[in-house]
Structure 1
Amino acid sequence: MSAQKTEKKAVETSALKSFLSGGFGGMSLVAAGYPFDLAKVRMQTSSEYKSALECLTRTIKADGVLGLYRGMFAPLAGATPVFALCFWGYNLGQKIAVKFSGNGENSTLTTGQILFAGGFSAVPTTILMTPMERIKCLLQVSGQGGVSYKGPTDAAKYIYRTAGFRGFYTGTVLTLLRDVPGSVAYFGCYELVKKALIPEGTPKEKISTLAIVVAGGLAGVANWAVAITAPQGKYAGMRDVFVDLVRNEGPKALFKGIGPAMLRAFPANAACFLGVELSLRAMNSIW
């Protein structure tokens, strides 16, 4: 088998199953990783925390355990469509790659085709993800800069009142620049690590939970290693982000918050891919 080949895998999952399983995986990811995401955003927007542990500890002391989930409604409500679109986009990207290869839908996916499909998956999710990221980040820093929001609706009204509809899409270019390469690393790492952990020819329903968890967790780490960006909602555009951060805080500021992001990445994405794989198995068994 060519070195560029990955495990023999036909593009056989239907678009609808990919959509539904992706949504379930997204909800699993949010539930598992949200406290670390909150710590990441707070560290990116404030210099008062020395570590992720300090941020989480102070948050619990001030607001109780439920304080770790402040602002979770927006990403949780949006997890289903965003991750559903992401995995649907990944499935569609695979089919496009195979179609243009001219080898038919049952042909083996090469590493290059998987990486293309991973990058393609980021495109349809941007339409939904950018507005929700804006709302989520405003809620997570609510009260820290003098402006408080009662909830997602209040934050959305503030964005529309101050910047109009296009205010929801502030940072769209940055989102794409982050998520396209990040998604390439995400799906590419998952497929290649999973391939390395399971015997060749193992049926999908026989793949071990441990292999899925390890591959999914490492995929999340790979994604964040590529996709760490500056806080959203604070800058007018991409040039403003890099000029301001590098000038005032130095190059290391571009990686501010990477600690909690990495702490979140493994368990959250392990939960995501486990949710995806288990829901696919369930659908395949009854459908």
Structure 2
Amino acid sequence: LGNKSDRRVSPLKNFLAGGVGGVCLLFAGHPLDTIKVRLQTQECVVYRGTYDCLRKTVSKEGIFGLYKGMGVPLAGVTPMMALNFFGFGLGKELLQSDPTIPITNTQIYLAGMLAGVFTTVIVAPGERIKCLLQIQSSASQLKYAGPVDCALRLYKEQGIRSVYKGAVLTLIRDVPSNGVYFLTYEYLKKFLTPEGECVHHLSTSRVLLAGGIAGMLNWLIALPADVLKSNYQTATDGRYRGLRDVLKTLLREEGAHALYKGLSAVMLRAFPANAVRKHTCASKTFFNISTSFAYCHKNVYYRVLVKLYKLVW
């Protein structure tokens, strides 16, 4: 009983852990997210790849060009993480009728899917606003002054439906991939636990490894829907007749490989980001681990960005 109580983490700590880890990782990972969105939504070949997009963005807009649209996820990351963990916990409670019987893989997957449903309420409008801001590549093309201006103008022009444009694709992206994420993470934790030891006492490095691999698999599955979502959410009115039309147009104009545009940028970000994401709620030292790991990860980006900036100028 003592071990069980030691492992119990209060909802407040889960909330704060998700918030602290999420904020740190936004600063570290947002540049690659901006690159991903620009690669996904370019109608002609402006960027040849991740590095080319990074170089051109820094050249034309400076380092801060990579942080466009970050205000939206920054504001929503703490409630989003809290909803994610709440949804997963609720799903497990609803599906596991007898707590003494170990939860099955199917139940873990379904609980993870439920978590994806919960987060869509925040993620869908956030993604819509973020993507619109991220594709603004120069001063002459600026349509929105910032996230608040973007949200207000979308609502004023076409109401709440415009703000939530792409919500169905966000669900298609997040629900199955979130299930895979939690299932993979829980499976790897058990697999990496030495014989005779408790899974809850898994070392930091193994928790990070499980979270990182789960994150990469999550994005490998989510990316096609993410490409469709980014294109649909940033398209001008009338460009696509519906969700199916986005898919047909991309396949016709660019082929099946278009569904994996931005893959390298996604994978570069996925492992460290998701490794820390899980460790922030699994460790009693979640503040130290999340901030220090994210800080180191952030410094890698900044060194690259500073070098690029010097090369350009």
TM-score (norm 1): 0.85
Q: Aligned equivalents of 1:24 and 1:202: distance in 2?
A: 29
Q: Aligned equivalents of 1:272 and 1:31: distance in 2?
A: 14
Is the 8 Å Cα contact of residues 61 and 137 (structure 2) preserved in structure 1?
no
Instruction: Please say if 1:126 is aligned against 2:116.
Output: no
Q: Aligned equivalents of 2:141 and 2:31: distance in 1?
A: 23
Q: Aligned equivalents of 2:20 and 2:255: distance in 1?
A: 40
The corresponding residue for 1:261 is 266
Other structure's SS at 2:136 match: coil
Q: Displacement, 1:40?
A: 0.3
Is the 8 Å Cα contact of residues 18 and 281 (structure 2) preserved in structure 1?
yes
Other structure's SS at 2:96 match: helix
One-letter identity of the residue aligned with 2:188 = V
Structure 2 residue runs without a partner (length 5+) = 1-6, 288-313
Is the 8 Å Cα contact of residues 213 and 274 (structure 1) preserved in structure 2?
yes
Instruction: Please say if 1:31 is aligned against 2:36.
Output: no
Q: Which has the higher helix share?
A: 2
The corresponding residue for 1:273 is 278
Instruction: Please say if 1:210 is aligned against 2:215.
Output: no
Q: Aligned equivalents of 1:168 and 1:82: distance in 2?
A: 17
Instruction: Please say if 1:116 is aligned against 2:110.
Output: yes
* Counterparts in 2 of 1:130 and 1:45: CA distance versus 1, 3 Å: same
One-letter identity of the residue aligned with 2:62 = G
Q: Aligned equivalents of 1:114 and 1:200: distance in 2?
A: 22
Q: Aligned equivalents of 1:139 and 1:279: distance in 2?
A: 37
Q: Bigger shift: 39-48 or 146-155?
A: 146-155
| Correspondent of 1:238 among 238, 243, 252 | 243
One-letter identity of the residue aligned with 1:153 = V
* Counterparts in 2 of 1:28 and 1:263: CA distance versus 1, 3 Å: same
The corresponding residue for 2:129 is 135
Q: Displacement, 1:237?
A: 2.7
Is the 8 Å Cα contact of residues 208 and 276 (structure 2) preserved in structure 1?
yes
Q: Displacement, 1:143?
A: 4.2
The corresponding residue for 2:74 is 76
The corresponding residue for 2:18 is 22
| Correspondent of 1:157 among 147, 152, 157 | 152
* Counterparts in 2 of 1:98 and 1:29: CA distance versus 1, 3 Å: farther
| Correspondent of 1:52 among 50, 53, 58 | 50
Is the 8 Å Cα contact of residues 130 and 169 (structure 1) preserved in structure 2?
yes
Question: Over aligned residue pairs, what C-alpha RMSD do you find?
Answer: 2.4
Q: Bigger shift: 178-187 or 138-147?
A: 138-147
Other structure's SS at 1:96 match: helix
Sequence identity percentage: 44
The corresponding residue for 2:297 is none
Q: Deviations over 1:251-270 (max 9, x none)?
A: 22122112211111111111
Q: Bigger shift: 188-197 or 130-139?
A: 188-197
Structure 1 residue runs without a partner (length 5+) = 1-10, 283-287
Is the 8 Å Cα contact of residues 213 and 273 (structure 1) preserved in structure 2?
yes
Is the 8 Å Cα contact of residues 213 and 271 (structure 2) preserved in structure 1?
yes
Q: Aligned equivalents of 2:196 and 2:11: distance in 1?
A: 24
Is the 8 Å Cα contact of residues 96 and 107 (structure 2) preserved in structure 1?
yes
| Correspondent of 1:247 among 247, 252, 264 | 252
Q: Displacement, 1:95?
A: 0.8
One-letter identity of the residue aligned with 1:225 = L
Q: Aligned equivalents of 1:112 and 1:224: distance in 2?
A: 20
* Counterparts in 2 of 1:177 and 1:121: CA distance versus 1, 3 Å: same
TM-score (norm 2): 0.78
One-letter identity of the residue aligned with 1:150 = A
The corresponding residue for 2:61 is 63
Q: Bigger shift: 264-273 or 202-211?
A: 202-211
One-letter identity of the residue aligned with 1:45 = T
Q: Aligned equivalents of 1:279 and 1:170: distance in 2?
A: 39
